[in-house]
């Protein structure tokens, strides 16, 4: 028996050696390196059977051998007559072989531990009474565990102002005695306020990573349960776990789900949960080292008791990134993407984008480049996917010749006025539903009027050319009316601070007449833009500028 066991072990060891040798043979790059001239010769002689592109090399497979050349030495035009495959076949084989090796070693380890009696006391129980309610209760009763954050501030671009605000928190978590000896205490709670997608969760994780403390993450919605008392119990367990692991950070995402204003309407479970949260935040004297960070995009609906001093003492507003911040964010996401781009141009064309939208934009551009078998992401890829990220993919209706003529004139009027007033955009396509994104920045009167003129310019151009316009103008006209209404009723930008009757109608009529005079003076520019749109269905801001500068 001992000899048979020895033979079995030797057989298994031999099998793993063979697998390792096969793995080495399959992963070894056996392609011969060639020069650019040799590659051109192979391609021109039509002897290449397959072209495979990877990040570092382009592989040429022929009947006589397998050759490689650095990707930086070739251009896509060299492979116009060939179907190009992206990736490497060896990766799949390597994964399979690694998986086989891992499972084999894992099986041996489990068998060894079983023989040693490690699993002797473990028994598995089955229950025939399992249903959705019981599984939910099990989940609620499961212990709350801390996680280690793997996000650092270096992974987040464009938050220098926010980082300065949080450096005190990080220092306090590392050196609490310094603050205690000075008689100072740090805020018990920090509230991150900002629109969705600006990176509030990532910022909280970066704080935990920089302070090197346990990170307890909970969503506000997870406290709102159908079981009476379970939400309050969950809050208590969360704070108890954090106190045991102090110093620690509790992060409550979307706190407005549990912290809404109490308006007198009966909701015992929600109120009990909120009361428990308030009580826990009041009981921090004996548990220094625990800081609560919460995130919301609806601070106006939070209960006043939650916002008072002693609970969330510090509020940090995380706004949409500025141009410089967008550049920093884009640089982070483009680090691993092969590109030939001026990041400043991309930052200019993404006014109103948040961090999540910028990440999606870079990813969509990279996917488009892969679909088109391009070796680098270019500015044209970003132009093609920008509207998809901003407004979603929208299937456009098929236009007949007459409808297309109206569309061309409509878009020409908009793009000429937008360029004349230097509104933020980089390129217009015939299929664009919106030219520039609306923002909530504080505008002065002439900037708002310029935007209204851009929104009605398409309608004005069609009325001038065809004496009528299409129903597709509705969205632009609605926005123009909304801006005009706010200017008169809310911003005091009409003829008087207190608006008179029909104030919006008079303002919109005046702006329509001024836009008509402007387009009449730019008639030659509109004709040139229409010709370009008719030919290629797109035009850049720089091209329109050249046409305008030519007549002034």
Radius of gyration of the chain (CA): 32
Question: pLDDT at residue 288 above 50?
Answer: yes
Question: What pLDDT is stored for residue 379 in this prediction?
Answer: 87
CATH fold of 2-91 reads: 3.30.720
Q: Are strands 32-33 and 48-53 parallel, antiparallel or unpaired?
A: unpaired
- Gap between the Cα atoms of 479 and 485, Å rounded: 10
Hey, which CATH number is domain 153-317, 3.40.80.10, 3.40.50.300, 3.30.565.10, 3.30.43.10?
3.40.50.300
Q: For 323-378, CATH number?
A: 1.10.8.60
Highest mean pLDDT among 119-133, 167-181, 287-301, 457-471: 457-471
DSSP state for residue 377 in the 8-state scheme: B
Question: What pLDDT is stored for residue 441 in this prediction?
Answer: 67
User: What digits encode the pLDDT tens for the residues 24-48?
Assistant: 665 556 677 788 788 787 777 777 8
Q: Which CATH superfamily is domain 401-551 in?
A: Peptidase M41 (1.20.58.760)
Question: What pLDDT is stored for residue 2 in this prediction?
Answer: 47
Domain ranges of the chain: 2-91, 153-317, 323-378, 401-551
Q: Which two tokens stand for residue 105?
A: 């070693």
Q: Are 68 and 57 in contact (CB under 8 A)?
A: yes
Question: What pLDDT is stored for residue 459 in this prediction?
Answer: 96
Q: Once rounded to an integer, what is the mean pLDDT over residues 340-352?
A: 82
Q: Are 273 and 303 in contact (CB under 8 A)?
A: no
User: What digits encode the pLDDT tens for the residues 368-413?
Assistant: 889 988 888 988 888 888 767 765 555 445 567 888 899 999 999 9
Question: pLDDT at residue 13 above 70?
Answer: no
Question: pLDDT at residue 530 above 90?
Answer: yes
3-state secondary structure 126-181: CCCCCCHHHHHHHHHHCCCCCECCCCCHHHCCCCHHHHHHHHHHHHHHHCHHHHHH
């Amino acid at each position: 028996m001992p000899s048979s066991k020895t033979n079995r072990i030797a057989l298994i060891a031999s099998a793993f050696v063979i697998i390792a040798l096969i793995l080495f043979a399959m992963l070894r790059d056996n392609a011969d390196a060639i020069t650019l001239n040799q590659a051109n010769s192979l391609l021109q002689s039509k002897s290449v059977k397959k072209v495979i592109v990877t990040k570092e090399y382009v592989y040429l497979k022929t009947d006589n051998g397998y050759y490689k050349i650095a990707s930086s030495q070739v251009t896509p035009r060299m492979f116009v007559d060939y179907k190009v495959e992206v990736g490497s076949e060896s990766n799949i084989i390597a994964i399979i072989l690694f998986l086989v090796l891992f499972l084999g070693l894992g099986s041996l380890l489990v068998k060894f531990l079983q023989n040693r009696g490690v699993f002797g006391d473990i028994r598995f129980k089955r229950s025939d009474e399992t249903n959705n309610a019981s599984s939910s209760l099990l989940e609620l009763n499961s212990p709350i565990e801390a996680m280690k954050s793997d996000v650092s501030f270096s992974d987040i671009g464009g938050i220098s102002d926010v980082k300065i605000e949080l450096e005190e928190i990080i220092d306090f978590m590392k050196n609490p005695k310094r603050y205690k000896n000075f008689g100072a205490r740090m805020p018990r709670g920090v509230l991150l306020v900002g629109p969705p997608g600006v990176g509030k969760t990532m910022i909280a994780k970066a704080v935990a990573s920089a302070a090197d403390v346990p990170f307890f993450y909970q969503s506000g919605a997870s406290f709102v349960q159908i079981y009476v008392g379970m939400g309050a119990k969950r809050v208590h367990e969360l704070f108890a776990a954090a106190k045991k692991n102090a110093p620690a950070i509790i992060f409550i995402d979307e706190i407005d789900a549990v912290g809404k204003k109490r308006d007198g309407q009966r909701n015992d479970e929600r109120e009990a949960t909120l009361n428990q949260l308030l009580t826990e935040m009041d009981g921090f004297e004996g548990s220094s080292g625990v800081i609560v960070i919460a995130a919301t995009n609806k601070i106006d609906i939070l209960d006043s008791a939650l916002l008072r001093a002693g609970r969330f003492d510090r509020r940090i507003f995380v706004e949409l990134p500025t141009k410089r911040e967008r550049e920093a964010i884009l640089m982070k996401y483009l680090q691993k993407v092969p590109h030939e781009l001026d990041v400043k141009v991309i930052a200019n064309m993404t006014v109103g984008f948040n961090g999540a939208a910028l990440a999606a934009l870079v990813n969509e551009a990279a996917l488009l480049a892969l679909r088109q078998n391009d070796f680098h992401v270019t500015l044209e890829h970003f132009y093609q996917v920008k509207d998809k990220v901003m407004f979603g993919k929208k299937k456009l209706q098929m236009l007949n010749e007459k409808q297309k003529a109206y569309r061309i004139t409509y878009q020409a009027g908009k793009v000429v006025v937008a360029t004349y007033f230097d509104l933020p955009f980089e390129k217009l396509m015939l299929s664009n539903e919106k030219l520039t994104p609306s923002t909530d920045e504080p505008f002065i009167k002439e900037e708002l009027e310029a935007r209204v003129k851009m929104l009605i310019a398409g309608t004005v151009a069609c009325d001038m050319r065809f004496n009528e316009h299409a129903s597709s103008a509705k969205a632009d006209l609605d926005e123009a009316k909304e801006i005009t209404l706010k200017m008169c009723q809310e911003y005091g930008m009409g003829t008087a601070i207190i608006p008179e009757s029909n104030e919006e109608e008079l303002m919109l009529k005046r702006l329509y007449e001024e836009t008509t005079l402007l387009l009449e003076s730019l008639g030659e520019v509109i004709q040139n833009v229409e010709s370009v749109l008719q030919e290629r269905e797109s035009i850049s801001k720089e091209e329109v500028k050249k046409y305008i500068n030519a007549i002034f």
